[in-house]
Amino acid sequence: MTRSSRDTDAMARTLTGWLAGHLPDGADVEITLSGASDSNGMSSETILADVTWTADGSRATHGYVIRMAPAPRDVPVFQTYRLDHQYEAIRLVGELSDVPVPTPRWLEATGDVLGQPFFFMERIEGIVPPDVMPYTFGDNWFFDASDADKRRLQDSTVRAIAGLHSIPDAATTFGFLDVHDYPGGTPLRRLFEKLRSWYAWAAAELAPSPLIDEALGWLEAHWPTVDTPDNVVLSWGDSRVGNCLYVDFEPVAVLDWEMAGIGPRELDLGWIVFAHQVFQSISDVFGMPGLPDVLRAEDVRATYAEATGVEVGDLRWFEIYSAVIWGVVFMRTGARQVHFGELAEMPEDVDTLFHHAPLMRALLAEVSA
């Protein structure tokens, strides 16, 4: 999928001048940019940067990753992108926990330099279970690993989530992530209203989704009892194995913080379970075995309880909430594919854009039975 229409050569020239102002005199900055992997990610632009400069008489090259908000002409997935919030969340996680995150280096929050905000963070070497094609399809390092190594990766990722949730006083420390522009008496209620607004924005360009409308109605009618003041943690937001870099089946970097917020711990747990269910359901459609024993809800809950001492209950509400978010993402990526000519035209039935539609229908049928 095409993610950007930017001219990387022109970007490198602009960034060279900008970085020269952030490094000592005589640094003689050189920047080489290259595209990130096409196997993961569909929203913020991710660009690899090799930055060479002279310091104390020695010249060295340093590897970074640039995260940048997409240009409006490229049909962004989200309504707004707060790169300053992503930067600060990563910085605080690195400072306040043992959860591995890249070290953020330089932030340009105004958009005056490249037209959109961006930041540099250190580049960490590791491998990631691919999204394209989904890791459940086979022929990749994670699928081919032993059952013991798959479980080690799963458990270590859940423990990383537990580490994020263990950062104290999240409502204050990460209060900047609370979406106060939306109504509601709790962070989860405000996130839910933000989701409604985002969906309405996507539907205004395409059409309403009967599946999303049904799911939103069910979520409203069955509001979770865990939405309480004592259950507010830092939420990674996009807690997937596809958003971690791994070495020896252990995470060495937790990535992609554009959906970070605060709210119940079940947000991240429901998301990681549902995200795997999506990929497993796609492999089911194609008659592939997939990985049905990976990231089962009961196993995730057990590992989380062992790591935190907190027992969480049924995650179904949060899985359906996740399904709605995935649906809106697919609406926006569908619009992007039409924009870049990768899809001839928008289908009349918006729900056909949803790769997870069968799974979503099954979940709604289950809770409505």
Contacts of 56 (CB under 8 A, 6+ apart): none
Instruction: Round to whole Å and give the CA distance between 143 and 129.
Output: 8
Residue 5 is predicted with a pLDDT of: 54
Give CATH for domain 135-368.
3.90.1200.10
**How many Cβ atoms from other residues are within 10 Å of residue 61's Cβ?**
10
Instruction: Round to whole Å and give the CA distance between 202 and 218.
Output: 20
Instruction: Round to whole Å and give the CA distance between 252 and 244.
Output: 7
Q: CB of 64 within 8 A of CB of 119?
A: no
Q: What is the mean pLDDT of each run of 10 residues along the chain (369 residues)?
A: 64 94 93 67 79 94 95 88 97 98 97 95 97 95 98 98 98 97 97 98 94 98 97 98 98 97 98 98 94 98 98 97 97 87 81 95 94
Q: Is 140 exposed, middle or buried (0-12, 13-18, 19+ CB in 10 A)?
A: middle
Residue 39 is predicted with a pLDDT of: 41
Q: Which of 131, 155, 227, 238 is catalytic?
A: 238
Contacts of 329 (CB under 8 A, 6+ apart): 42, 43, 77
Among 238, 203, 221, 240, which residue's Cα sits nearest to residue 327?
203
Helix (H, G, I), strand (E, B) or coil at 44: coil
User: Does the annotation count 50 as an active-site position?
Assistant: no
Instruction: Round to whole Å and give the CA distance between 194 and 264.
Output: 16
For residues 95-119, b (16+ Cβ closer than 10 Å) or e, as one string? ebbebbbbebbbbbeeeeebebbbb
Residue 346 is predicted with a pLDDT of: 81
The DSSP secondary structure of 53-97, one letter per residue, reads EEETTEEEEEEEEEEEPPPGGG--SSS---HHHHHHHHHHHHHH-
Instruction: Round to whole Å and give the CA distance between 100 and 303.
Output: 19
**How many Cβ atoms from other residues are within 10 Å of residue 9's Cβ?**
8
Give CATH for domain 8-122.
3.30.200.20
Residue 2 is predicted with a pLDDT of: 43
How open is the CA angle 156-264-322, to the nearest 5 degrees? 75
Residue 1 is predicted with a pLDDT of: 43
Rg (CA), the chain: 21
Q: Where are the domains of the chain?
A: 8-122, 135-368
